[in-house]
Each structure stands twice: as structure tokens, then as C-alpha cells.
Amino acid sequence: MAGRSFDVVLFGATGFTGGLTAEYLARSVPAGTRWALAGRNRGKLAGVRDRLAEHDASLAELPLLEADVERPESVRAIAADARVVITTVGPYVRYGEPLVAACADSGTDYVDLTGEPEFINTTYLRHHRRATETGARLVHACGFDSVPHDLGAYFTVQQLPADEPLRISGYVRANAAFSGGTFSAAVTAFSRGRQNLASARARKAAEPRNASRRTRYVPGRPHREPVDAGWALPLPTIDGPLVARSARAVDRYGPDFAYSHFVAVPKAWQAAGLVAGVGALLGAAQIPAARRALLQRLPAGQGPSEQKRANSWFTVTFVGEGGGHRVVMRVSGGDPGYDETAKMLAESALCLAFDDLPATSGQVTTAAAMGDALLARLQRAGIRFEVLSS
């Protein structure tokens, strides 16, 4: 990457999560880091820069780069001149692929915060091979989807015996609110069930098999949560399959690894309400008029207030078993969807830019690409990884 102008470029800096990520970078980049803000509206970018400069006058001259996914040459120019590109521009299934393609072609590292399975599977099928040729690391899901789950399972594995069959279950609890962008991505994903299924099948057919090791995601069943005595429901997000992909890539997960993923709530009536609410949203997302009405209720670019975020929190509790040992550990932090997501996303980009990492390329997970280095960064940044019992 010799001769590139920027270590890190943030694309989508004018959005809600993009603005929080810009603020985190402004506080956290090492001295001498060459970074820039990118987006399609230079005036809005200048407004973000002005807010940053109120707290640090040296950022008044932070470079601004105009780019629009509808002008592929503009995103190619960004990718060609950066070592790492961060993007918060979603829904990714609509807007994300031009930047992935540009980074894969340019050998540029890429991070996003998507939780959209169709997008991740599609970019694997179309751009993984090219990225392996150029050395680009394409790392999806670098926010709450799926860093706490992926690195939490990775941390749990390290507490268990090596070379033994391992079983891990993760239990998610959270108190937080949605932004318009997150809600839009969820509704879009719900409306694309057939496309999600088709992309998953195509990826499964294309991915190489490992005959010497077995790794899998097991959806699981509703049950009493074993640590906090609540109720656990299967959580069919991208997190479970992504943990299984990390296990395929990293031998330390053992010869036979299984992961199950759940949401945990204290009361049975809350579990029933959650199932009913998700079912209603899934049904509404199939009807175009209802889908449009849902999206209008919470427009993209809006999100929870600073006070609401300050009162938000998350925990992910992992129960791991293998080789006659049982361990319970927990990942925890503040507002999961925005403040902590901005932290995870920014630290992932800085990790790729500056840390000594394993040799990987193509579409890779956070655990496989960054592992211990990102774990240490997040611990220093205030996200807790704790062993509760062993």
C-alpha cells in the first residue's frame, strides 16, 4: 500500500452511526494518523468536521472526500488511496457492494457494521476470490453484529482445553433503542427471505470443506437460561453462523466445535411478547405498503438521544464445555447499537491499519483476522471480557 494518502477513510460520516464513529476516531487515532471523512454531500461532511473541530482545532483541516455508490469511479478512487476503508452506508444489500468490489480490486482493507446475511454471502461469492488475490481483508459485521459474539466465543475457547470437542452457547441481553438506519436494514432483510435463503445455499455450495475438522452453528431450542435463570430463545441473526466461520478458520476451536445463539429475557411473558413482535414485523415486511409505512415511522439518519444511549447496556454470557471442563464468561458494555458499535468499528479499522496480525486475506471474520489484537484493543477501550466461573 505504499504511496496511499490515507491510513483510514470513513465513508458515510454524515449518518447517525457514521457521525459517532467520526467522533470516536477523533478522540482515538494515534498521532500522525492520516484519515479522512467521505460521503456524497460535501456540505454535510463539512458540518461533521466543524463539530469535531469544536473539540480539537487541529481537525479543522481534516480532508473531505466526495463519493457516491451510484458513481462507482468515486468509491474506486477512495479505495485506491486508502489502507483501510470504514463504511456505515446501509442497508448494505442496496448500497454496499460497489465499495466492497473497489476494495477487493485495490487490495484495500474494508470494515462495515452490517448484520445482513444476504449481503455477506453475496460479497463472499462475488469478491472473496479477488480479495485473496490482492491481499485485501474484507471484514464484515464489525459492530454489535458481531464483535461481542465472535470475540466472546473466541475468548471462551481460550479458557477451554485444546484439541477437544467444544460446545458453546451465547446468551444476549440488552437495553437499547434502534436508529432509523438499523430499523431500515432489519425491515429490508425481513422482506428478502427468498434472497437470503438463496444466497446462503449458494455460499454453502461454494465454500471449501474441511474434512479434518467439524464446525457448525446449531440454532437450539427455547429453554431456561442457565446462568441468570431467565428464558432463552434462539436468535437467528448473523452472529451464530459467523462464529462458526471463525471456528472453521482457526484451529484452536478444536476438532469438533458447535455454537448456539440465544436472546435471554427475565420473564416468560417477555419471551412470548418478543416472539409475537418479531412475527408481526416479519409479516408486515412482506407487504410493500406496510413496509413503506414502517420505514417512514423511523427515517434513516435519526437515532436515540445521548441520554438514552447513556442508559443503554448489553451483556453476552457464554457457557462453554469441553474436555470435562465448563466455563462461564461474559462480554459487557454500554449502548450496544451506537456508542459501542462506533467503538468496535473504529477499533477494528485501526487494528487492521496498525497492528501486527495473522496473515489473512479475502472475506474474513474479526476473530480470524484480528483475534487477540482486537480483543486487547476493546478491553483497553472499556468493553469487558470477564471469566465468571471455570
Average pLDDT over the chain reads 92
Rounded CA-CA distance 134/108 in Å is: 8
Rounded CA-CA distance 107/127 in Å is: 11
Judged against a pLDDT cut of 80, whether residue 99 lies above it is answered with: yes
Average pLDDT on 243-269 reads 94
Residue 250 three-state SS: coil
Judged against a pLDDT cut of 90, whether residue 287 lies above it is answered with: no
> Do the beta carbons of residue 317 and residue 327 sit within 8 Å?
no
Which fold is adopted by the domain 147-335+383-389?
Dihydrodipicolinate Reductase; domain 2 (3.30.360)
pLDDT of residue 259: 98
pLDDT of residue 178: 62
Per DSSP, the residues of 54-118 read HH-GGGGG--EEE--TTSHHHHHHHHHTEEEEEE--S-HHHHTHHHHHHHHHHT-EEEE----HH
Residue 170 three-state SS: strand
Which fold is adopted by the domain 6-143+341-373?
Rossmann fold (3.40.50)
What are the beta bridge partners of residue 332? 315, 384
Judged against a pLDDT cut of 80, whether residue 234 lies above it is answered with: yes
- At 285, is the pLDDT very low, low, confident or very high (cuts 50, 70, 90)? confident
Cell numbers representing residue 232 in the block? 432463552
pLDDT of residue 188: 76
Residue 215 three-state SS: strand
**pLDDT by residue (tens digit) across 244-255?**
999 999 999 999
Q: Cα separations (Å) of 38 from 20, 97, 188, 190, 261?
A: 14, 16, 25, 29, 35
pTM: 0.93
pLDDT of residue 300: 62
Average pLDDT on 229-248 reads 94
Cell numbers representing residue 187 in the block? 425491515
Judged against a pLDDT cut of 80, whether residue 22 lies above it is answered with: yes
* 207 vs 291, residue with greater confidence: 207
Rounded CA-CA distance 153/206 in Å is: 25
Q: Which residues contact 148 (CB under 8 A, 6 or more apart)?
A: 314, 316, 331, 333, 336, 344, 383
Rounded CA-CA distance 153/332 in Å is: 13
Average pLDDT on 339-344 reads 96
- At 181, is the pLDDT very low, low, confident or very high (cuts 50, 70, 90)? low
Judged against a pLDDT cut of 70, whether residue 202 lies above it is answered with: yes
pLDDT of residue 379: 98
pLDDT of residue 182: 63
In percent, the amount of the chain with pLDDT more than 70 equals: 96
**pLDDT by residue (tens digit) across 120-162?**
999 999 999 999 999 999 999 999 999 999 999 999 999 999 9
**pLDDT by residue (tens digit) across 301-313?**
667 888 999 999 9
Judged against a pLDDT cut of 90, whether residue 279 lies above it is answered with: no
**Domains 6-143+341-373 and 147-335+383-389 alike in fold:** no
- At 298, is the pLDDT very low, low, confident or very high (cuts 50, 70, 90)? low
- At 272, is the pLDDT very low, low, confident or very high (cuts 50, 70, 90)? confident
* Lowest-confidence region among 89-93, 96-100, 287-291, 377-381: 287-291
pLDDT of residue 275: 75
Average pLDDT on 367-386 reads 98
Domain range summary for the chain, segments of one domain joined by +: 6-143+341-373, 147-335+383-389
* 111 vs 266, residue with greater confidence: 111
- At 270, is the pLDDT very low, low, confident or very high (cuts 50, 70, 90)? confident
Cell numbers representing residue 138 in the block? 474484507
